[in-house]
């Protein structure tokens, strides 16, 4: 999480990076952005700006 924070400039980009890394972990490849379901790519609109996400330590 700290690595990802250091690579991004704001929470929206942090969320995008973490979702893309999770997709790679589950699929074994980075999906093309056009192949990411809209519900996933629009998740940032549901979360409040500035909100800190907790990590449970699970992947």
* End-to-end C-alpha distance for the chain, whole angstroms: 12
Residue 56 lies in a domain: no
Q: Which domain holds residue 38?
A: 2-45
What is the chain's pLDDT, residue by residue, as a tens digit (59 residues)?
889 999 999 888 888 888 889 889 999 999 887 887 777 766 666 665 555 555 555 44
> Which CA distances in Å does 23 have to 9, 49, 50?
21, 23, 23
Residue 38 lies in a domain: yes
- What's the confidence (pLDDT) of residue 28? 95
pTM: 0.60
Q: Domain tally for the chain? A: 1
Residue 54 lies in a domain: no
Residue 55 lies in a domain: no
pLDDT (tens digit, 9 = 90+) per residue, 21-36? 988 999 999 988 788 7
Residue 25 lies in a domain: yes
């Amino acid at each position: 999480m700290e690595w990802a924070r250091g690579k991004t400039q704001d929470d929206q980009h942090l969320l995008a990076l973490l979702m893309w890394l999770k997709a790679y972990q589950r699929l074994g490849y980075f999906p093309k952005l056009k192949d990411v379901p809209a519900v996933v790519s629009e998740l940032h609109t549901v979360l409040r700006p500035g909100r800190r996400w907790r990590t449970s330590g699970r992947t």
